[in-house]
A and B are shown apart, each in its own frame.
Chain A
Amino acid sequence: MNRVMTIERELSAETRYRAEEFRRMMAGKGTLVVNLLSSPGSGKTTLLAETAKHWGDRFRCGVLVGDIATDRDAQRLSPFVPVIQLTTGGACHLSLSLVQRGWQQWEERCLDFLFIENVGNLVCPSSHDLGEHIRVVLLATTEGDDKPGKYPKAFRTSDCLVVTKTDLLPYLPFDPVTASADARRVRPDIEVISLSAVNDDGVPRWCEYLEQQRQRSVTI
């Protein structure tokens, strides 16, 4: 005999609950968790290296860096900031379980900022809550200013859009106003920061934004 069970539960409800616990726990430790999303090659690793250089000893930072293979990004970052490589073995995004497994190695540490450098991909990572306090999406000027509308979920779920490689603007048809307007259609209250990690333009503004977010979201 058949019986119908009404469930009406989000598939991600349990993961979200675990992510919420992780978020609360990290906030209690004084750590702001930042999840960085973007296409491959938009400058996540470079931005993190420049962020660590800008702050110097002012803040204690750590990076969990996700890649489908190799530890090249971890090697690039390790001269500037402590880093743990998370290799997904082919998976297109990081999961909360992988992040927590990586974090276990640092549980005793007191960090001010924990950055999660997601796998370069604008599709799947946007569906996965990693327990971050803020989600940041990077868009390089080399990618085209019409991307927010093409990848709505990545921009819809992000708190901040960082337009990178602005030093290349004179050579590209990229219009920063079009890009931010497109992003604000899908996420009207998104913060937009433009920068170039090469000439340090905008990096102080980015760091200031992170400091403000930390003051707002965590117990200091």
Chain B
Amino acid sequence: MHEFSLTRSLCAQVAEIVRADGGGTVREIRVRCGPLSGVEPLLMREAFAILRREGPMAEAELRIIEEGLSARCDGCGRTFEPENFCFVCPHCGSPKTTAVSGDAVVIESVVVDSAEADDPSEAVDLFGDPGDIETAGIQHTGGGRRESRDDDRA
């Protein structure tokens, strides 16, 4: 369920980034996530289909790149892929390891069409404070899934 608020934050951040860079129509948003990102890509796409309707990303495509989990050992410095989420270093047995990928949601890039620059300030108002979770926003989920124009090819 929290994918809705995360996607809302994504839209607000992209709108702000594009506005600060001179505006334009967003064509594509690329996002990277993994097994410990706390995000279900399907739910994020559904949320995006609802949230993108207005503003500069109404026709944007959300591409979600799913990456594997990897970690680095603080002891021996080698990297490894934690099998079944086991973060004990398989090389030296050290318990001190750090995840290096697959545990966050990363905004990779945005493709913007500069020719059709709208007034992007509307979009910033529409999505509000990034990271904030308003119950009013969450209640919108009810009727939103009918318009599922989003692209699943990613």
Stretch in B48-56, B118-126, B128-136 touching the partner: B128-136
Instruction: Given A10-B104, A11-B107, A156-B36, decide whether A92 and B1 contact each other with a Cβ distance below 8 A.
Output: yes
In the complex, the answer to whether A91 meets B1 with C-beta atoms within 8 Å is: yes
In the complex, the answer to whether B36 meets A185 with C-beta atoms within 8 Å is: no
* A149 touches B (CB below 8 Å): yes
In the complex, the answer to whether A184 meets B95 with C-beta atoms within 8 Å is: yes
Among B21, B36, B95, B107, contact of A8 (Cβ-Cβ < 8 Å): B107
In the complex, the answer to whether A156 meets B85 with C-beta atoms within 8 Å is: yes
* A2 touches B (CB below 8 Å): yes
In the complex, the answer to whether A4 meets B109 with C-beta atoms within 8 Å is: yes
In the complex, the answer to whether B87 meets A12 with C-beta atoms within 8 Å is: no
In the complex, the answer to whether A187 meets B87 with C-beta atoms within 8 Å is: yes
Q: How far is the CB of B32 from chain A (nearest CB, A)?
A: 9
Chain A: interface residue total (CB-CB under 8 A): 40
Q: Smallest CB-CB separation from A89: which chain B residue?
A: B135
Q: A102 CA to B125 CA in the complex, in Å?
A: 24
Q: A92 CA to B96 CA in the complex, in Å?
A: 31
Among A2, A152, A187, A188, contact of B111 (Cβ-Cβ < 8 Å): A2
Q: A192 CA to B61 CA in the complex, in Å?
A: 45
* A14 touches B (CB below 8 Å): yes
* A186 touches B (CB below 8 Å): yes
Residues of B within 8 A of A72 (CB): none
Instruction: Given A91-B135, A149-B85, decide whether A2 and B10 contact each other with a Cβ distance below 8 A.
Output: no
Residues of A within 8 A of B132 (CB): 95, 97
* A5 touches B (CB below 8 Å): yes
Among A7, A10, A93, contact of B110 (Cβ-Cβ < 8 Å): A7
* A123 touches B (CB below 8 Å): yes
In the complex, the answer to whether B107 meets A91 with C-beta atoms within 8 Å is: no
Q: Using a CB-CB cutoff of 8 Å, which residues 176-207 of chain A contact chain B?
A: 184-189
In the complex, the answer to whether B138 meets A90 with C-beta atoms within 8 Å is: yes
Q: How far is the CB of B99 from chain A (nearest CB, A)?
A: 8
Residue-wise, chain A 85-124 has the 8 Å CB interface mask toward B (1 for contact) of 0001111110111100000000000000000000000011
11 more CB-based (< 8 A) A-B contacts, given A93-B2, A127-B6: A3-B111, A4-B109, A11-B10, A11-B107, A15-B9, A91-B138, A92-B1, A93-B133, A149-B84, A152-B85, A153-B36
Task: Please report A residues at the B interface, Cβ cutoff 8 Å.
Answer: 1-12, 14-15, 18, 88-93, 95-98, 123-124, 126-128, 149, 152-153, 156, 184-189
Task: Please report B residues at the A interface, Cβ cutoff 8 Å.
Answer: 1-2, 5-6, 9-10, 13, 17-18, 21, 24, 27, 31, 35-39, 84-88, 95-97, 103-115, 129-133, 135, 138-139
16 CB-based A-B contacts, threshold 8 Å: A2-B111, A2-B112, A5-B18, A5-B21, A5-B111, A10-B104, A10-B107, A14-B131, A89-B138, A95-B5, A97-B132, A124-B38, A127-B2, A127-B38, A156-B36, A185-B84
